[in-house]
Amino acid sequence: MASFAQRQLFWRKKFEAAGLVTAGLDARYLMLAASGLDAAQLISSGPDPIPSDVLSRFNEMCERRLTQEPVARILGEKEFYGHNFALNQDTLVPRPDTELIVDVALERFEADGHFLDLGTGSGAIAISILLEFPEATGVATDLSASALECARQNAKRHGVEDRLAFLQGSWFEPVAAQSFDLIISNPPYISQDERHDMNVEALGFDPHLALFAEEGGLAAYHAIIENAGTFLADEGWLVFEIGYKQAEAVSQILAANGFDEIAKLSDLSGLDRAILAQR
């Protein structure tokens, strides 16, 4: 019978042959999940025979990875801002770049403030803010009932469910009249023309509702910005994630709707990734 180390090596080589650039990490993460071992236990168990039930789970996971299904989808969760968040078929896999808008929001948000997260998905952004500021409260909306259920479960997992209300609907549609100190969103912003530029992992496994937008990828920004004034408190902030080519276009939409304090921020790759604005 093959050992833990031998089987992990076998799949690492298969992943490398398939062109997966994170082959070693992928094999390791999947083995950790399949075995239930922690990192230290896996190292010490390397020479040991792999039990048949663990082998079966590991092989199944690895076969899925060969189809380019992301590891986070296979595991059903992803780390974001230092915390693990459950995923389902109607939520995006949170990306490290999106942590930038959480950073931006925390810098301009009072510790006991009230915020609105539009298109919350897994709830990763909203819950991360609440975990940093234990006196803050929020409202999270999403068009997808399934995504909202995932966000609710994540809120319970992290103990913030009593401070985060969930509403189903498109952008501001389900939100009662009230003022927010912060409105934050990572909306769909990819134009249909950019489909051919996308990798298989995103195009094949992420929900298209959360990826693509009409009007050259700007439809969600128009919908949110044109209605934000009704819900934004005096001196409140609007914070978006944007596509790396959209800073100028989104800035123009903001300016046309009365926002005069507008700044763009770059991600670790030096690409425009966030915009913040204030009236």
Q: Which residues of the chain have pLDDT under 50?
A: none
Distance, in Å, from the CA atom of 24 to the CA atom of 69, rounded to the nearest integer, reads 16
The answer to whether 103 touches 128, Cβ cutoff 8 Å, is no
Strand 232-241 with 180-185, pairing: parallel
State the pTM of this model. 0.94
Helix, strand or coil, per DSSP, at residue 188: coil
Residue 204: predicted pLDDT:
78
Residues with Cβ within 8 Å of residue 93, at least 6 apart in sequence: 70, 72, 73, 78, 87, 206
Residues with Cβ within 8 Å of residue 180, at least 6 apart in sequence: 114, 115, 116, 139, 231, 232, 233, 236
Residue 194: predicted pLDDT:
81
Distance, in Å, from the CA atom of 251 to the CA atom of 264, rounded to the nearest integer, reads 8
